């Protein structure tokens, strides 16, 4: 026999042993939690089957073994199982806390001092040269701040419609600063406005597109926001035709936070996909389960 055959035989034995021990423990757990009345019922059934087959010993052994195990070890095992369940509940609580923390981090990371300073500088300047434009940018800034700061608490903050509105306020401010260097295209059907969508994700992707894609590009470019439903999945994509992604640049706290929150909220059902189209620039796509509206 070659070594590989021996290994195969060993693997088979190990699997069989694993399976048997798994079955035994499952039986053991069942014994620990089953009620006496139900256990007695199974004894009765065992006799009912075994006596006509002329094997009453088997049923007797089953009765003695299960009775013994339940008396001796049942209580302890039951306590263990209860403890395990409590641990699982505690894990859920931990997950909820991590989600809260991730959301708080998203909130705090958001209003960048750079952005605030530059926008206020712009407003200060426009007050003298173009008061109407100053009023417009000022209004956008207020809208942006209002929806950014109490974001997590706002009841309607978590819809795609609300997130798009907030992004438009931000982009209007950036357009006032970058002028013709920034173009914006929204391709979001109205009916998707009520779809639940986590706060501050779209915002982060758009800020990245401008900061890393378009601002460093002399000619500037276009930010395109697209949303559509494919099957049961909502796709929200932000693309820019900027300078693309440097493979050595850190992907930043923003994207890591989005990934973390998607994982906590939707598990394996959501993902963040970054890709660079052949035509240049960069795209970031969030996929998550589509629901028409928030369930109360």
Partner 1 sequence: MMNEGVLTAMIADDEAPMRDLLRARLAAVWPELRIVAEAANGVEAVELGQRHLPDIAFLDIRMPGLNGIEAARQLYRRSHIVFATAYDQYALDAFEQGALDYLLKPVTAERLATTCARLQAQLKARAKAPSPAQPDIGQQLAKLTSLLENRGQETPKTGYLRWIQAQVGASLRMVSTREVLFFQSDEKYTRVQTAGGEFLIRKTLKELAEELDPDEFWRIHRSTLVRVDAIGEVGRDLRGRHMLRLRGHPFELEVSRNHTYLFQQM
SS3 (DSSP) at 28: helix
Which of 124, 131, 150, 189 is in the footprint of partner 1 by CB under 8 A?
Answer: 124
* Burial per residue of 203-216, b for 16 or more beta-carbon CB atoms within 10 angstroms, e otherwise: bbbbbbbbbbbbbe
Query: Interface with partner 1 includes 232 (CB under 8 A)?
Result: no
How far apart CA 75 and CA 80 sit, in angstroms, is 9
Query: Interface with partner 1 includes 135 (CB under 8 A)?
Result: no
Query: Interface with partner 1 includes 265 (CB under 8 A)?
Result: no
Shortest distance, position 89 Cβ to partner 1, whole Å: 18
Query: Interface with partner 1 includes 20 (CB under 8 A)?
Result: no
Going by C-beta distance under 8 Å and a sequence separation of 6 or more, which residues neighbour residue 285?
A: 235, 236, 237, 238, 272, 273, 274, 275
Alpha helices in 111-159 (DSSP H): 113-129, 131-148
Which of 25, 277, 293, 294 is in the footprint of partner 1 by CB under 8 A?
Answer: 277
How far apart CA 115 and CA 178 sit, in angstroms, is 13
Query: Interface with partner 1 includes 126 (CB under 8 A)?
Result: yes
Which of 216, 289, 292, 293 is in the footprint of partner 1 by CB under 8 A?
Answer: 216
Task: Please choose, from the candidates 200, 190, 193, 192, the residue with its C-alpha nearest in 3D space to the C-alpha of residue 262.
Answer: 200
Contact stretch for partner 1 (CB under 8 A) within 74-82, 151-159, 189-197, 207-215: 207-215
Query: Interface with partner 1 includes 230 (CB under 8 A)?
Result: no
Which of 98, 138, 226, 259 is in the footprint of partner 1 by CB under 8 A?
Answer: 259
144 and 166 Cβ atoms separated by less than 8 Å: yes
Closer of 217 and 235 to partner 1 (Cβ): 217
Contact positions with partner 1 (CB under 8 A) in 169-188: 176-179, 181
245 and 210 Cβ atoms separated by less than 8 Å: no
* Helix (H) or strand (E) run with residue 93 in it: helix 56-110
Contact positions toward partner 1, by CB under 8 A?
7, 10, 14, 113-114, 117-118, 120-122, 124-126, 128-129, 176-179, 181, 211-212, 215-218, 245-252, 255-256, 259, 263, 268, 271, 273-278, 282-283
């Amino acid at each position: 026999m070659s070594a590989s055959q021996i290994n195969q035989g060993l693997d088979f034995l190990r699997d069989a042993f694993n399976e048997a021990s798994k079955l035994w423990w499952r039986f053991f757990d069942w014994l620990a939690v089953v009620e006496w009345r139900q256990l007695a019922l199974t004894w009765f059934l065992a006799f009912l089957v075994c006596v006509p087959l002329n094997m009453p010993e088997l049923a007797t052994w089953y009765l003695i073994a299960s009775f013994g195990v339940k008396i001796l070890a049942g209580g302890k095992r039951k306590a263990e199982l209860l403890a395990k369940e409590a641990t699982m509940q505690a894990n859920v609580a931990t997950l909820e806390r991590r989600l809260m923390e991730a959301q708080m981090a998203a909130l705090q990371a958001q209003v960048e001092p750079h952005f605030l300073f530059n926008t206020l500088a712009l407003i200060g300047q426009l007050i003298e040269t173009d008061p109407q434009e100053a009023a417009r940018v000022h209004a956008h800034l207020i809208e942006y701040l209002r929806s950014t700061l109490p974001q997590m608490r706002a009841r309607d903050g978590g819809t795609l419609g609300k997130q798009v509105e907030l992004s438009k306020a931000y982009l209007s401010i950036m357009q006032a600063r970058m002028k013709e260097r920034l173009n914006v295209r929204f391709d979001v059907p109205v009916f998707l406005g009520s779809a639940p969508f986590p706060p501050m994700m779209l915002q982060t992707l758009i800020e990245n597109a401008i900061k890393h894609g378009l601002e460093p590009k002399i000619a500037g470019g276009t930010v395109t926001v697209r949303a559509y439903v494919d099957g049961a999945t909502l796709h929200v994509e932000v693309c820019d035709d900027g300078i693309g992604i440097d493979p050595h640049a850190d992907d930043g706290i923003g994207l890591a936070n989005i990934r973390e929150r998607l994982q906590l909220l939707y598990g394996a059902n959501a993902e963040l996909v970054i890709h660079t189209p052949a035509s240049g620039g960069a795209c970031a796509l969030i996929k998550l389960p589509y629901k028409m509206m928030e369930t109360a």
